[in-house]
Amino acid sequence: MTPGSPEALRAALVTNLVNSGALSEEWVSSVAAVPRHEFLPETIWADENGGDTECSRSESPDRWMKLAYADVPIVTQWDDGAEADRSMPTSSASMPTMVVEMLGDLGTAPGHRVLEIGTGTGYNAALLSHRLDAENVSTVEVDAKVTAQARTALRSAGYTPEVVCGDGSFGWGARAPYDRIISTVSLRDIPPAWLAQTKPGGVIVSPVSPLFGGGAVVRLTVGDDGTASGPFTRSAAFMMLRQQRYQAASVDDYLPGDWPGGSGQSWTEFDPEIIGGDWLAQFATALALPDVYYRRHEFGDGGWTWWLFDTAVTSWATVDSVPGESRFEVRQSGPRRLWDEVEAAYNQWTATGRPGYERYGLTVTPAGQTAWLDKPDNVIPEHRP
């Protein structure tokens, strides 16, 4: 193989993924065979050195090809295709390590019928088609332009899974039931349709991103009763399923009139930036407070004001994190004391030994979902002092 060629770069990627332990043996031949670069557009934005840098294939072909086989996530669309301000990435080729780890979580076997939610570039569907045969793979993408591009790339590469343009939150009932469902977009709540479309004993693998922050991949096994339960396997950051993007109410809906809006003042020795700098701490707090979210605003010399809100639009709180201070001003208003709840949830997490993602899990029913620690009957209670 010629150094720098797609074949050489793909072989190097396979070697790196195997050596890291991310790529399991049953997926080696698929990753070695599927040309990732054929699923990428002319212009991409790669996550390099903490930022998304633009790269054009026509202008920088060597760099573009190296990025195609680098172990980094690549943005392929901004702002649902508007791309005027490039404020929010909305479609991508996921980091290869995450791709193969999630495929490993899926636990597929020859003959399995698989539904993928979030076609994106089509690369993941190609890997599934190579291993399981395209006739066993269906993939759903909400964006019509992204769907068309993925369908073209798949056919060009020689793969013909069923590619559907539609709302992935409804799954795809036409070919149900499935042995496996895998989502390459994140969500807060597992849709009931996915449970109904998975065979008993089947598996659902999906990133979950709670409102408060953090995110992790969950592996659910569907039971005979139509419910599903299983552990989280690793941290993950994915773009949200469009139908579950949270549209927050205006601050004015929480705080009518002038500041401080009748709020009570108190003080805390707990700096909220401790949570802000810890992805796992955010995740643990979020599982205990699924209806609470926060926003941060910088002020002064490195200070941050934390705003906490509940989704019912009944309560709010602020905490000012001032560098060098030993205590921090808290303002809370409404029937709930949101900062007290966040602090209690964080303290409970530390009291149980700061458990990692793999000790947490979800149980999902058609009516909703609950989080648990270590075992399904150890449900995480909401912390409301």
The answer on 284 and 149 residing in a single domain is no
The C-alpha angle 212, 275, 380, rounded to 5 degrees, equals: 55
Q: Is residue 171 part of a domain?
A: yes
Last residue in a domain, options 242, 268, 294: 242
Segment 173-193 mean pLDDT: 97
The answer on 260 and 230 residing in a single domain is no
How many domains are contained in the chain? 2
**Which structural domain, as residue segments, surrounds residue 326?**
251-351
Where residue 4 falls among pLDDT bands split at 50, 70, 90? confident
CATH number for the domain spanning 293: value is 3.30.160.690
Q: Is residue 379 part of a domain?
A: no
Residue-wise pLDDT for 62-112, tens only, equals: 999 999 999 999 999 999 888 677 888 889 999 999 999 999 999 999 999
The answer on 182 and 109 residing in a single domain is yes
Which range (51-60, 65-74, 122-131, 211-220) has the least confidence? Answer: 51-60
Q: Which amino acid is at 281?
A: A
Where residue 382 falls among pLDDT bands split at 50, 70, 90? low
The answer on 98 and 10 residing in a single domain is yes
Segment 322-344 mean pLDDT: 96
CATH number for the domain spanning 37: value is 3.40.50.150
Residue-wise pLDDT for 98-148, tens only, equals: 999 999 999 999 999 999 999 999 999 999 999 999 999 999 999 999 999
Segment 311-328 mean pLDDT: 96
Helix ranges restricted to H, 199-316: 251-254, 273-276, 279-288
pLDDT of residue 83: 67
Q: Is residue 118 part of a domain?
A: yes
From 94, 129, 321, 333, active-site residue: 94
Q: Is residue 227 part of a domain?
A: yes
* Angstrom distances, CA of residue 84 to CA of 89, 144, 145: 12, 19, 16
Q: Is residue 377 part of a domain?
A: no
Whether the predicted pLDDT of 297 surpasses 60: yes
Give the separation between CA 199 and CA 175, rounded to whole angstroms. 12
CB-based burial label for 284 (10 Å; 0-12, 13-18, 19+): buried
The answer on 266 and 217 residing in a single domain is no
The answer on 306 and 175 residing in a single domain is no
pLDDT of residue 50: 66
Whether the predicted pLDDT of 383 surpasses 60: no
Mean pLDDT value across the chain = 94
Last residue in a domain, options 242, 262, 292: 242
pLDDT of residue 384: 52
94 is catalytic: yes
3-state secondary structure of 60: coil
Q: Is residue 368 part of a domain?
A: no
The answer on 226 and 317 residing in a single domain is no
Q: Is residue 1 part of a domain?
A: no
Segment 43-60 mean pLDDT: 87
Reported pTM: 0.95
The answer on 238 and 276 residing in a single domain is no
Which strands, in side-by-side order, build the sheet including 89-93? 51-56, 43-48, 74-78, 89-93
The answer on 92 and 237 residing in a single domain is yes
Q: Is residue 41 part of a domain?
A: yes
Last residue in a domain, options 210, 242, 274: 242
